[in-house]
Amino acid sequence: SNGDASPTLTLAEHDHLAQIICKSHLETCQYLREELQEMSWQSFLQEEVEKYQNKPQEAMWQLCAVKITDAVQYVVEFAKRIDGFMDLCQNDQIVLLKAGSLEVIFVRMCRVFDSQNNTVYFDGKFASPDVFKSLGCDDLISSVFDFGQSICSLQLTEEEIALFSAFVLLSADRSWLREKLQVEKLQRKTESALQHILQKNHRDDGVLEKLRCKASALRALCGLHSEKLAAFRTVYPDAVRTLFPPLYKELFAA
């Protein structure tokens, strides 16, 4: 990288960047804080769990694909509001969203994850891993829940979630980027603002390193999702073609 890719921001600039990213995050969160507070954090009853478990595999995959697609649209809006994202060339905007939107969804999941009961908000109530049994990919589901537990244990504030999401989305090492340096510059600015906020919140020195580890865990998780989708598609090519949302196919099955 050159000097241009190592921005030095003043404290006020860090605060300003953090504020903008946090505002973008709050404006584009699927569930607002107030809504989350009103949620009764009610878990599915046993008969409801069984209803999901008895669904045909392709119907449960379709339901999850629809939920992921809904969440992706909010992530696209988040990306559009990040300072500098829309100044990137369109190829790079698409590359970053294709590679990073699901990762951001997994980061955002900590807002709707009940770590005490090991449940996550899904389809109106809180679901334990066994709700997803009919998907036929227990290892992916347990990895997602493990990730939920570990990110919840960091007890991130909304501002920290926002900056970490932007940091993940602006990963400059994604394949097929055309203007890598531009992305790198944005990511460094974001990382620097994240570091500033962590210090301001009196976080331990190790938190940033833990978040870097989470970023690689996210890649592994999304890699596993792609693997499972490919395997499912081999068995049910028509289900993917006819039942899955077009945006999901564009992002994950193209």
Partner 1 sequence: KEKHKILHRLLQNSTSPVEL
In the complex, least distance from residue 69 CB atom to partner 1, rounded to whole angstroms: 10
Whole-angstrom Cα distance, residue 13 to residue 1? 22
CB atoms within 10 A of CB 219: 15
How many Cα atoms are found within 13 Å in the side-chain-facing hemisphere of 77?
14
Q: Which two tokens stand for residue 107?
A: 């980061």
Is 111 one of the binding residues for partner 1 (CB under 8 A)? no
Q: Which is nearer to partner 1, 97 or 162 (CB)?
A: 97
Is 77 one of the binding residues for partner 1 (CB under 8 A)? yes
Q: Which is nearer to partner 1, 34 or 205 (CB)?
A: 34
Is 80 one of the binding residues for partner 1 (CB under 8 A)? yes
Q: Which is nearer to partner 1, 12 or 254 (CB)?
A: 254
From the list 19, 57, 93, 134, which residue makes contact with partner 1 (rule: CB under 8 A)?
93
127 secondary structure, DSSP code? E
Is 243 one of the binding residues for partner 1 (CB under 8 A)? no
In the complex, least distance from residue 227 CB atom to partner 1, rounded to whole angstroms: 22
Is 179 one of the binding residues for partner 1 (CB under 8 A)? no
**Beta-sheet strand order (sheet of 113-114):** 113-114, 119-122, 125-127
In the complex, least distance from residue 215 CB atom to partner 1, rounded to whole angstroms: 22
**x/- string (CB under 8 A) for partner 1, residues 35-54?**
--------------------
Whole-angstrom Cα distance, residue 188 to residue 6? 7
* Helix 90-108, helix 206-235: angle, nearest 10: 100
Location of structure tokens 């389809």: 123
44 secondary structure, DSSP code? P
SS3 of residue 31 by DSSP: coil
When computed from its CA atoms, the radius of gyration of the chain, rounded to whole angstroms, is 19
**x/- string (CB under 8 A) for partner 1, residues 19-38?**
--------xx----------
Binding residues for partner 1, rule: CB under 8 A, are 27-28, 73-74, 76-77, 80, 86, 90, 93-94, 97-98, 246-247, 250-251, 254
